[in-house]
Amino acid sequence: MAKLTKLTSRITAVLTLSVIAFFFFMTVFGKKESFSIAENRKLADIPEVSLDGLYDGSDVDQLGYYVTDHFAGREEWISAKTIMQAELSEQIVNGIYIGKDRLLDAEVSLRTPASVNADIFSRYAENYDGTVYFAAIPSSSGVYGDLLQARGISRSDSQQITAFYEFLSNDIRKIDAYNILKMLNENYIYYRTDTKWTTYGAYCVYKTVIQKLGFLPTLYDKYSIQHITDDFRGNLYKKVLSAKVKPDIIDIYSYPDGAEVLSCEKTTNSGDTVESELYDLDMLDSSDMYSVFLGESAPLIKIRTSVKNDKKLLVIKDSYADCFIPFLIQHYSEIAVVSPEDMQKELSEYININDYSQTLFMFGVENLGNRSNLEKIIERN
């Protein structure tokens, strides 16, 4: 019997060491990509060894990220993890809740509260002559949070938006997108695999927003709707690579009898202006299909339309607004779309805000905690 035990140990040693050796060599000699299409992100680079980096250990941390990102078969490992972890615990993997028919961000409580940044917008309004509107958009876990009773997420986004609106100055007109969306949550208003709303979700809020801005909304049956893909997998999917939830459909709404886009100029960070379009269908072949709306991100996009009313609107936004902008072209002769996330300089370097009589802020509440991005819209004194 002792002999048998010894043999077993030997077999164990050979077996485990070969597993380790196999993945060691596969990882060391495997092909290295610098960008992961499945996860839609840049993978970690091998650290450049420096004395400072060794001194505080950051070089080895970086090496750890490098090994992790380039570990042989990473995508398969993550898919396998998602399947196993969901069995072990409450269906939450890598901070993502894997429900029967949708994925949700389960770490909402870790976000920086939006209300701490309310002062930025109030200060913007002080230096601005026109009217300011604000639409804070909940993320999918705010609208479908009931699926996640145990984490108190159901209330989180609505509370955040309420608190944020309370801190905003009274000069800013607030739009309650949360309750509109919450009421309609039987419909396909949020992507199943992304935190963002669908084009239909954006349309439902558009109807309210445009009335506040002083126009009548375009009726739903005037649009012709085009499904441009049924294979969209959003930012939540990229973290779990789980095939359990169906991929999403992206829709484009067009109004054939309505106003047309005359020009759509993008200003890049280098200062060049490039002609582009409202939709960039080439993006369907990239790892980030959502960029179909407005195409590749840029700090400033100026859209001129065939509407003849000399009304100009400034939209300061994050990616939530990308699918919302096309609805506005029926009402304004010029729309300037500013994305603080992509700005490298201050706002005044791109645009004079007082050329526009109305400003619409449209942000997902998940992005309102990021102070360093938002701060760029006010002058630093």
Nearer to another protein, 6 or 345 (CB): 6
Near another protein by CB under 8 A: residue from 29, 109, 272, 308: 109
Give yes or no for a contact between 95 and 174, defined as CB atoms under 8 angstroms apart. no
Residue 46 binding another protein, by CB under 8 A: no
Q: How far is CA 41 from CA 34, 36, 69, 182, 321, in A?
A: 9, 6, 10, 31, 21
C-alpha 148/C-alpha 99 separation (Å) is: 9
Residue whose entry in the numeric block shows the structure tokens 């300061």: 316
C-alpha 330/C-alpha 259 separation (Å) is: 5
Among the candidate windows 29-37, 76-84, 305-313, 346-354, which touches another protein by CB under 8 A? 76-84
Query: 127: buried, middle or exposed (CB in 10 Å: 19+, 13-18, 0-12)?
Result: exposed
DSSP state, residue 30: S
Residue 152 binding another protein, by CB under 8 A: yes
9: Cβ–Cβ under 8 A, 6 or more apart, which residues?
none
- Could you tell me the two tokens for 33? 């990509």
Residue 81 binding another protein, by CB under 8 A: yes
Near another protein by CB under 8 A: residue from 37, 43, 84, 258: 84
Nearer to another protein, 17 or 281 (CB): 17
Nearer to another protein, 10 or 371 (CB): 10
**Residues of 187-226 as b/e, b for ≥16 C-beta within 10 angstroms?**
ebbbbbbbbbbbbbbbbbbbebbbeebeeeebeeeebeee
Near another protein by CB under 8 A: residue from 43, 47, 85, 180: 85
Residue 151 binding another protein, by CB under 8 A: yes
Query: Shortest Cβ distance from residue 81 to another protein (Å)?
Result: 5
Near another protein by CB under 8 A: residue from 31, 88, 257, 372: 88
Residue 89 binding another protein, by CB under 8 A: yes
Which residues in this chain contact another protein in the complex, by CB under 8 A? Answer: 1, 4-17, 19-21, 23-24, 27, 51, 54-57, 60, 63-65, 67-69, 71, 74, 77-78, 80-81, 84-85, 87-94, 109, 149-152, 239
